[in-house]
Structure formats: C-alpha cells, structure tokens
Chain A
Amino acid sequence: MSTTTAATHATGGAPVTQFRVIRSEWIKLWSLRSTTVTLGVAVALLIGVGLIASSVIGNGDGRGPGGDDGPQNPVDISLAGLNLAQLALATLGVLFMASEYSTGMIRSSLAAVPKRLPVLWAKAAVFAAVAFAVGLVASAIAFTGGQAILGDAGASWSDPGVARAVVGTAVVLAGFGVLGIALGALLRSTPAAISTIVGAMFLLPGIAGLVLPDSWGDNVTRVLPPNAAEAFTDVTRNDGTLSPWAGLAVFTAYIAATTIAAAWRLKRTDA
C-alpha cells in the first residue's frame, strides 16, 4: 500500500510500521507498575544472592553453598543468583504478553495492528533489550562485588571465560524473558505459562534425573533449557554439560521454537 493514502490530516497519523509498534510496546512496558517492581526484584536477586554466596564462600571452606554440586568457580559463585533472577524475568515476560489476554487489551492491540505479528516481534524486541541492559548492569555489579568479597580467591575481568559469563548472564536473562513472552502468547494464560516455565526450570531436570537411566540420562538432562543456558554462562565446564556455545545454540533453539509456535497461534486463531 502506498504511503500517499495515509497522508497526514488534521490529527496526524501514519502507516503502522514495526518501529511504531516497538514504540507502542515500549510505552506499554513502562506504564505498568509490575515492570519496575519485577525488574527490581530480578536485579536484587542477581546481586544479592551473588554477594551472599561470595561472602559465605569467602569466609568458609572454599566450596560452593550447594556442597560439591554447587558452583566451584569464583565467577559462577558471584553469579549464583541467575537461577532466581531468570525466573523473575520469565515471569515478567509472561505477564507482559498473557495479561493482554486476561485483561482484554489484546483486542485493542490487534485492532491497532491487525497484521498481528509485529506486536509479538515488538514485545520480544523491547523486552529482550530491557532485560539485557538491566541484566548486564546487575551482572557486572554482582561479579565486581562478588570478586571484591572473595579477595585473593576472586577472578578478574581478564580471566578466560569471565566476559562470556557476565555478558552471558544478561543474555540468558533476556532469553528467559522472551521465552516467557512466547509462552504467554502460546498459552494465553498467565498461570499456565508461569507453571510451564517453573516446570521447565526446576522440575524437569530433577524428574529427568530420577526417571531416566544413567546411561542416557545425562544426554537428555544437559539439553534441558536451564542446563543449556547454564552451560553458556559457566566458566568451568562440568562433566556431562554442553560446551558454552552448544548450550547457547540449544537455548536459542528452545526460544525460537516456542516463538514460532506462538506466532503461528497469534496469526491463526481468533483474538
């Protein structure tokens, strides 16, 4: 459609573009109180847990708070809050999308953008950018603070894998946020999407470990979403986990698959 048909008029107005939809989603994100509250919680968890873990280990026997299974590396210790922070961001991602359905806002959103998919792309882009930026600042603070507490046992920015771990933490936070949005769009229900996320994050690895025989349990366990994401941020590679970049690839594949399914449902079914 040519732009001439939307020539400006007394009140202005112009064709809907992906950029304009992104602006709209930016306004939507920051005009909800749950956004600042949940982001604040995620930041507090990432920094707080990291600092607490660092001080426990700095004063203790040098082993992780989880005993032998816990993080053994000073970088991983200072970023130990990632598990909880990623849950907070996944939840916020779910809320950002699924609350459009629970409140009925989706009908207004799709009346404004009846091509529909730009709404999903814009939500994912805005949320990923915000989660990454906030996550990066929090991750850098957690790392710097944690290493200061650990003192001589701490790592420095120039150590191998440190930059990947710190930036990777922000990437994983953004990734779980987008996963939350995609699940929210796919399931159209806040409780269902949050349950799915919690299940995938905390229950699935445990269940897989219990149910599957050891011979191939590891092969399954290491490609589960939280483990794949963790492989990307861990400085030291543990036995039976994916390499960092394989971890990132698997984690991205989960997000991509869920987002494609969400896009399909958004486009195909009635609002």
Chain B
Amino acid sequence: MPTAGRCGAPPGPGIVVPVIEVHELTKRYGDKTAVDGLSFTVRPGVVTGFLGPNGAGKSTTMRMILGLDRPTSGTATVNGRRYAEHAAPLREAGALLDAKAVHTGRSAYHHLLAMAATTGVPRDRVDEVIHLVGLQDVARKRAGAFSLGMGQRLGIASALLADPRVLILDEPVNGLDPEGVLWIRNLMRDLASQGRTVFVSSHLMNEMAVTAEHLIVIGRGRLIADLPVSAFIEQAASNSVRVRSPRASELFQLISGADVSITNVEPGLFDVTGLTAEQIGDRAAAAGIPVHELTPQRPSLEQAFMELTRDSVEYHASTQNERAQAGAAQ
C-alpha cells in the first residue's frame, strides 16, 4: 500500500504531506499566456477536482506537472521533486492525459506491456490492470478500433499500471457511458480513500460536486478558487425567491423597496431578491393577496460555477451575438 512519504522520512501521524505542489507556474505560447502564475497544493486522501472552462489551462498545467511541457517559469513537483527527477516516475504518478496517447496500430495489451517494461512492472500486473478496467475481451485488439470510452479505460489502466501514489486524470469521464461514469467515480473515491492523491480535471461542475471533496478552480490560467466542495456549494446559495400570484402587480407594489429587486419572468411570475420567502409570504397574507407559488431559488452548481468563471471564459458564445449585433447596427 503506497502511502505518503516513501521518499525520505515518514511523516508523523496527522501530518498531511502535500504531494503535488505547483508554485507560480506560468506557460506562455508566444504572446498568449495559457497558465499565469498558478500556485496550489494537492493533498492525499481526497479527490481534488481541477475545474475550469475549456481553454482555462487545465491540461497545460497537468502536462507541466508531468514534465511534458516546459514551464515558462515556476515549478511543479510531485512527491517532493520534479516528476522527471524520480527514478521510477510511473510509480510516483500515473496519468490519463487524453485517451489518444496510444499508438492506434498497437493492441491495448502490448501498449501496456511496453509501458510496463520501462519501469520493470511485471507482466502479471498488466493482466491485472486490464481486468481492473474491464478491457479483457478487447485487450488484443488494435487500440485504434477502440471507442472513446474504451480508450479512456485503457488510459486509466496505463495510469494505474505501476500502482502510483498520485493519479492525474484529465477529463476521465469524457466519452464514458453512465455505467462507466459511475465506475470511474467510485474508482477515484477508492483510490483517494487508500491514501492516494487523486487530481482530476473537469469542465463540468456537477460531475465534480459528486466526485470531489476539494476544488481548485482556474480561469484563463489564473487561480480563481481553492476550497472544499462544501464551501463552494454554500457560496453558491443565493437569496432569490420565485413568486407566482394572480395579483402580481399589487404584490409587486407592496414589496418593492430600495434593497429589493424584482425581475418579471412571465405575466404573474417574478423573481425577487432582497427579501426572504417568509417576508414576502407574510406581507402578502397581511394584504390578503393570494400567492400560488413561493420558492426560494438555488442556482444550480453549474450556474454558480459559470458565475464564478464568467469573466475568465476563453470563448464566449455571446461574443459572437454581440459581434452580429454590432454588425447589424452598422
């Protein structure tokens, strides 16, 4: 069982050893900055979600952690040193970077066997991971014929091959069917509960809300938030209340005030912020105005995430509309 601290002195009980440390990491391509002074720490024992819109720099960051891309500046370490400086890197960190990091002409079995050979991982372990990810029936077939979901499973088999302490998974649920999604969710939780570090990227907040315990949110290469999932969900709660009434305009006048904003949704239906559901209900009752619906609104996590990253989304769908409007105005 791999636990933290295999290299060097074992940590005392209760001391959490940071296993992925990113410090002031920056990556520029020409004049475009993909990752911009990013610093965070990923700890063992929990699933850490790495969240951000597409193009936020998640994959680039992961590639830099693994030494595939060279940082313009800053450092990234795994288990205390740069990934490339480890004697047996695959045993330190296993990665699923994308399901396409496989030669299409080679069988899954030989792909894994070739990877295993670099690190002296025995053949038995290759068979073991093939069974673990459920590819035993197709392991001898060309990986080029695999579906996206099978490719993801092969990528996860490669990541687990040398039984690493750290797992770095870039969008692992992409292309998986619901059963596969559930499988990988449980797998990630199991791996974390074994004391491993599981660092998983996604652009889907809902997926992370059910899988991860901790979140690192980035946008445009910068750190936006580094917090437990529970804290994120609390922050996401808002005080908007949806009100439906046949005498909406009377109620509207009754509750309007300086701190209250009211948005008409459709005739007879509006959203109120600045008042609680209780306050609105009591005032309506006192005035004898019937209320057919009174619902505190919680934005979905997805909405909260979009709110959080709105300023840092790389490609706005609205930008095109705005451009079209600007064009039409001319």
* Residues in A lying within 8 Å of B, measured CB to CB: 1, 3, 5-6, 9-16, 20-21, 23-25, 27-28, 31-34, 99-100, 103-108, 110-115, 268-271
Contact = CB atoms under 8 A, between A and B. Distances in A.
A15 B87 contact: yes
B104 interface: yes
B163 A110 contact: no
23 contacts: A1-B85, A1-B86, A5-B6, A11-B125, A12-B122, A14-B119, A15-B120, A24-B117, A28-B103, A33-B105, A103-B105, A104-B101, A104-B102, A105-B102, A105-B103, A107-B101, A111-B66, A111-B68, A111-B89, A111-B97, A111-B101, A112-B118, A270-B63
A32 B7 contact: no
Contact of A20 (B83, B102, B117, B128): B117
A114 B66 contact: yes
Interface of B: 1-2, 6-7, 63, 66-70, 83-91, 95, 97-98, 100-107, 110-111, 113-115, 117-122, 125, 128, 158, 162-163
Shortest Cβ-Cβ A-B pairs, 6 listed = A14-B120, A31-B110, A114-B84, A15-B87, A24-B117, A105-B103
Given A20-B118, A27-B110, A28-B114, A110 B68 contact: yes
A103 to B, nearest CB: 5
A13 B91 contact: yes
B105 A20 contact: no
A132 to B, nearest CB: 22
Task: Select the residue from B63, B84, B117, B163 with max chain A CB neighbours within 10 A.
Answer: B117
Contacts of A269: 70
Contacts of B89: 16, 111-114
Given A1-B86, A11-B163, A113-B118, A108 B105 contact: no
B88 to A, nearest CB: 5
B223 to A, nearest CB: 22
Contacts of A108: 101-102, 111, 115, 158
Q: What secondary structure prevails in chain A residues at the interface with B? A: helix
Contact of B122 (A11, A15, A110): A11
Contact of B114 (A14, A24, A270, A271): A24
A110 B128 CA distance: 23
A270 B120 contact: no
B68 A13 contact: no
Given A5-B7, A32-B106, A103-B104, A16 B88 contact: yes
A6 B87 CA distance: 7
Given A16-B88, A113-B118, 14 more contacts: A1-B85, A11-B162, A23-B117, A24-B115, A27-B113, A103-B104, A104-B101, A108-B115, A108-B158, A111-B66, A114-B67, A114-B83, A114-B84, A270-B63
B87 to A, nearest CB: 4
B102 A111 contact: no
Query: In the complex, which of the residues B2, B6, B106, B120 has the most CB atoms of chain A within 10 Å of its own CB atom?
Result: B120
Contacts of A20: 117-120
Nearest to B123: A12
A268 B70 CA distance: 8
